[in-house]
Amino acid sequence: MAKNLRREQALEYHSQGRPGKIEVIPTKEAKSQRDLSLAYSPGVAEPCKEIAANKDDVYKYTAKGNLVAVISNGTAVLGLGDIGPEASKPVMEGKGVLFKIFADIDVFDIEMNEKDPEKFVQIVQALEPTFGGINHEDIKAPECFYIEQQLRERVNIPIMHDDQHGTAIISGAALLNALELQKKKIDKVRFVVNGAGAAAMSCVQLYISLGAKHENFTMFDKDGVLHRGRTDLDDTKQKFAIDAKKASIQLADAMKDADVFLGLSVGNVVTPAMIKSMAKRPIVFAMANPDPEISYEAATEVRDDIIMATGRTDFPNQVNNVLGFPYIFRGALDVRAKRINEAMKLAAVHAIADLTKQPVPDIVNLAYNQKNISFGAEYIIPKPLDPRLLSTVAPAVAKAAIESGVAQKTIDNWDNYAIELNKRLGLDNQIIRVLGSRARRDPRRIVFAEADNQKILKAASIIYDEGIAMPILLGAKNKIEAIAAANNIDLTDIPIIDPRSDEMEERRNFYGELFFKKRQRKGFNHYESIKIMKERNHFGCMMVETGDADAMLSGLTKNYDEAIRPALQIIGTEEGVKKIAGMYLLLTKRGPLFLADTTVNFNPTAEELADIAMLVAKEVRNFNLTPRIAMLSYSNFGSSKSPEAQLVAEATRILKQRNPSLVVDGEMQGMLAFNQEILRDNYPFSDLVGEEVNVLIFPNLTAGNVAYNLLKEIGGADAIGPILLGLKKPVHILQLGSSVRNIINMANIAVVDAQLKCKSDTAAIIERSPWWKRMKKNKK
């Protein structure tokens, strides 16, 4: 069922809205008649004439310099084999997405109905005027070798077959670090390699460039060991072939006293006994997918001195090509390299290896829910979410291109180049990937108070399946199961609790007694306290309050006041918090923006506005970001003496007095918060000069709510929220009609919130549950 669910989710993801995963967006204004006359005829003739006079100007007047073609004929797609060009298109679009989100490189995917290697080469060669680089993908061996070799000779733009070189570069970096930790020399160690396809051959050749010796390799393919008596080996494989007298050697024999095992073959071909027979302090890279040549648990169980890497996300040291190809192409494009040569690949290897030894930033520790990731046996290559990769690998590759003579452009200021690289992506926008990763590392129990809703059930199923949290559904079991069945939603192992049922009477009474103690002098008598526990929001909040759950999401079908009231009555505010506040997180091209108050306080006083800003600042720091706050008004620094403007000015004064180190200023118009030129020229005294504002505090609820909705609907920002601030324990109220995507995002927020606020035995409870066992199985 879980497999079928993931299949349906994948198909829906690709088909919903505009089919596929990519689109073309103009980079210039194209709204007026004048714009159109410049974009096309007659204005377009001018850059055409300039390029005709000087072909290099194509990089000045067109998108070529940031455009890569991802090209395949679909002959070796993932684990699917030769499925044809059309069926390979989702993979190529996906590759384009990775290029864009990790390195801001634009991609056209091209799927070609051509298996003849020479014709393939001729077609790609003819495309050279269009693209700044070519990424070959999922082309079977041995044709991929010929295609790449020929194109490297015939075209003057960078070409790379990521299936070969990406794996080689990342594993090469891991190898250097593993050898250092194991105190071994690359020219002395003995390698055993299982697999001799495109990736494996690229790996071993790169290892030779790093200092390994041909005579120290023993390689196997599907026909056995590579030996000099075989007539089916090409020139490259012959260099790694052993003496024909050893033609009968088996993998188990070769593994005895070997220092390094490299697997790029099939799963479960290596036994614990083979690992046990290896030399002291062995290195094992078992990179077959989805099942490695030997599991991480099996290998580490028999050797405590082993360093191991796999292609899996659920074990340490994942060899993931996304650590390399986006940044290698970024560096190559930025100096207009004619090719990606050995020097550039080696530069990437050393940059990735060296980065692993540097102190890991907090955002990476946060993403992987660890306190202090550091160089060692379980960290020999960087994590895929490390934001430093772009500004580390791309410059290293660019420098190597310049020094090796293949660059057609130089970079004058490398410090400025690194800053520009980081600005390309708005590094803060990795926040959602970071939150999701952190939630999955330490999942918690989330109560969904409105489980008799298709969106809630769909989101809960995804949250369960992806290991974000253990959902608990509140509502009538028959109704929930009927909705799930009608929409093909799998609820296996997800608990359903009906607060109104007879079997919950004892629990209702227990919760009711606690509620009565809290509210007995605030309008509730004993009978009402017991009775109200049949209401799901009250029951769910009491589950969180008593530790029967860690967080609650509600409000999808209720008005805000009705949904928030039980949380205030039962859970209450954090110590020192007088009023709660509501915040939205908007993901924009500038980076994340935190807006408050957007849901709770109608007309806060200056003191309350300062309190709201402090709550937001605290939450922003929990996202591992530095809050930089603009206190908004229609007035700029005293330009209006109205009570409304003076209230915001007073709130700003209070904030600065309370926390002098806080980056905050106001009152100011929204324009000033994002226009540094006007701010610097007219208000150079402002504490926000030179700062990238990421928090907007509005003078009242009307302004905040209207602004949030406009930014979301017209500005195209992705909104997450509302996030309630100031409660003792995590309860969040969904916006009326929230999408499944927003519910999942809010679940991530709730789990991370619970990790900070709920110190309980949740981990032990979850690990004993059927959900945990099934989630781990699904993950594998």
Instruction: Show which residues are catalytic.
Output: 40, 95
Which parts of 4-100 are beta strand (E)? 67-72
Computed over its alpha carbons, how large is the radius of gyration of the chain? 29
For 134, the 3-state DSSP assignment is: strand
By the 8 A CB rule, do 614 and 659 touch? yes
Distance CA(144)–CA(136), nearest Å, equals 8
- Half-sphere exposure of 627 toward its Cβ, with a 13 Å CA cutoff? 27
Per the CB < 8 A criterion, the answer to whether 35 and 523 are in contact is: no
What is each CA distance from 87 to 52, 78, 113, in whole angstroms? 38, 11, 11
Are 350 and 396 contacting, i.e. CB atoms less than 8 angstroms apart? yes
Q: How far apart are CA 137 and CA 339, in angstroms?
A: 17
Question: How far apart are the C-alpha atoms of 714 and 693, rounded to whole Å?
Answer: 21
The Cα angle at residue 312 between residues 300 and 3, in degrees rounded to 5: 120
Phi, psi angle pair for 582, to nearest 5°? -115, 135
Q: Is the peptide bond before 142 cis (omega within 30 degrees of 0)?
A: yes
3-class SS of residue 676:
helix
DSSP letter at 107 equals: E
Helix/strand/coil for 263: strand
Which residues make Cβ contacts (< 8 Å) with residue 453, sequence separation at least 6? 483, 556, 557
Nearest to 260 by CA among 236, 234, 287, 237: 287
Phi and psi torsions of 225, nearest 5°: -70, 145
Q: Give dist(CA 735, CA 55) in Å, integer.
A: 54
Closest to 544 in 3D by CA, of 769, 748, 764, 754:
754
Structure tokens at 404: 């090796």
Residues 463 and 136: their CA atoms lie apart, in Å, by: 35
Q: Give 719's contacts (C-beta < 8 A, 6+ positions apart).
A: 584, 585, 586, 587, 708, 711, 712, 742
Q: How many CA atoms lie within 13 A of 252 on its CB side?
A: 4
